[in-house]
Amino acid sequence: MLGFMDHVQNAFYAASHWNHDNSYSHLTATAQALLDFQTPRGLRLHLSSLSSPNFATSYSIGSVGVVDGSLSYLYSSLPLRAPSRSDEIDLHNLIRGYRHVEELRKPDEPWWWERWHGGKRIDRRDTVLYGRLFLPTSTLEALYLRRVSPTRQLKISCVSDSSLRNGGTILGLVQNDYGKYSSEYLYSTDSALLGVRGLYNFGPDPRYPSAEEAGTQSAERVNGRFSAGAELYYGILNKSGGMSTGLRFTTLPQHAGFPYTMTLTVNPLMGSLSSTYAVKAGRNVALCSRFDFNFYSYESELQLGCELWQRRKESAEVEWARRLVRKEWQQQQQQRIETAAAAAAAAADEDVTGVLKARVDQNWKIGVLWEGRVKELVFTLGASFDLKRREQIFRAVGVEVQYSS
């Protein structure tokens, strides 16, 4: 489950019209959400607040053998109007599940951001400042996020910790999103690492909608999107590099059938290949599988996962009234439901109360997680098991509680 500060940062992306899903780093986001979810350890409590549209705070305390905690503060120059109360936040914005890829949008025109007063430009670029202090280790995290232009974003992350080499590290990231394609350039002080990532989306270009529509008036509307990307890294100090490439095909909201996502990633230097397939098998069910194979060692791994969304039950009065509806009205209602099925699958549902996730691999390592809301509290309960270790089957058990105002 996303933390409150991550929820606020996503609200900043939405308010500033930045599509953080159009990136190579999010190519396998659906499979990671269904298979790589983290089970909590011990007991942890989070208290957060969006005290004003520009300022947010969060405090956490936990116990995993020793008592620890953290203090977080966030400032946004762009006022954020997103829901902040834990009983009002849509659970789809907090819980990582099957991700519906939306249609690409045309980037904002540069002159849309201009503000003039008295013949002078007074507009400023939207900025986010974030800091987090971990106790009792005194580890400090910081984030500087700035929208440089409608198609560019600057992100600088810092970590200060005495256990790290040189006492900390800094990561700088420049992101470009043109809709049709995106690129990222990064530099890290750890080993003087340089990197570049890119993603290209095949199909219509959102920047030139008129030309595309004129050439495809008689063609059927595209119901899916095929994307290809790659990344390349090189460490100047240790003189080592790395690279990977990936493909993804995913259905769009107007797809009439079951939404599904397929990905294939290859790391030629390490000889690893990973393929995933995820499908939204129903309104409340999503299934996912991942197969990893290494060409050098011939080792393979298989993982299976699923998620089941829970919804509120209808009251006895509503169920009684539904039975009294005429069959003709029921047929008309069913036709309306089928027509709007694709749009309803991607829309947020207000009757969602929680989601149950489970995964298992070929070594019989099992993870179970329940995330949901009870009254004004958001809970995360999870456990992991290793059925091959009979003397210690339980590997981790934990509970997290979040409250925000």
User: Could you tell me the CA-to-CA distances from 310 to 176, 285, 351, 370 in Å, in that order?
Assistant: 38, 10, 8, 10
Counting Cβ atoms within 10 Å, is residue 22 exposed (0-12), middle (13-18) or buried (19+)?
buried
Nearest CA among 307, 225, 297 for reference residue 261: 225
Q: Which residues of 365-394 are buried (b: 16+ CB within 10 A; e: fewer)?
A: bbbbbbbbbeeeebbbbbbbbeeeeeeeee
> Which letter does DSSP use for residue 298 in this model?
-
> Which letter does DSSP use for residue 106 in this model?
P
Distance CA 28, CA 184 (A): 17
Q: Which residues pair with 227 in a beta bridge?
A: 201, 248
- Residue 315 near residue 307, CB atoms below 8 Å: no
- Residue 371 near residue 354, CB atoms below 8 Å: yes
Residue 152: predicted pLDDT: 93
Residue 391: predicted pLDDT: 82
Residue 346: predicted pLDDT: 39
Residue 351: predicted pLDDT: 74
Side chain identity, residue 331: Q
Nearest CA among 131, 155, 211 for reference residue 23: 155
Residue 148: alpha-carbon gap to chain centroid? 23
Distance CA 380, CA 375 (A): 14
Counting Cβ atoms within 10 Å, is residue 121 exposed (0-12), middle (13-18) or buried (19+)?
exposed
Nearest CA among 181, 207, 18, 204 for reference residue 106: 207
Distance CA 313, CA 59 (A): 34
CA quadruple 210, 214, 218, 222: dihedral positive or negative?
negative
- Residue 371 near residue 357, CB atoms below 8 Å: yes
State the pTM of this model: 0.84
Distance CA 376, CA 373 (A): 7
Residue 333: predicted pLDDT: 57
Residue 348: predicted pLDDT: 44
CB under 8 Å to 62, separation ≥6 — which residues? 42, 43, 44, 45, 68, 69
Half-sphere exposure of 256 (CA within 13 A, CB side): 4
- Residue 310 near residue 287, CB atoms below 8 Å: no
In this structure, the number of other CB atoms found within 10 A of the CB of residue 330 comes to 12
pLDDT tens digit at each of 405 positions of the chain: 888 999 999 999 999 889 888 999 999 999 999 999 988 888 999 999 999 999 999 999 998 878 899 999 999 999 998 888 888 888 888 888 898 888 888 888 877 777 777 777 767 889 999 999 998 888 999 999 999 999 999 999 999 998 888 889 999 999 999 989 999 999 999 889 999 999 999 988 888 876 445 444 434 456 889 999 999 999 998 888 999 999 999 998 888 888 999 999 999 999 999 999 999 998 889 999 999 999 999 999 999 999 999 887 755 555 555 566 555 555 555 555 545 444 444 344 567 788 999 999 999 999 999 999 988 899 999 999 998 888 888 888 999 999 998
CB under 8 Å to 306, separation ≥6 — which residues? 34, 285, 286, 287, 288, 357, 358, 359
Nearest CA among 193, 194, 195, 213 for reference residue 203: 213
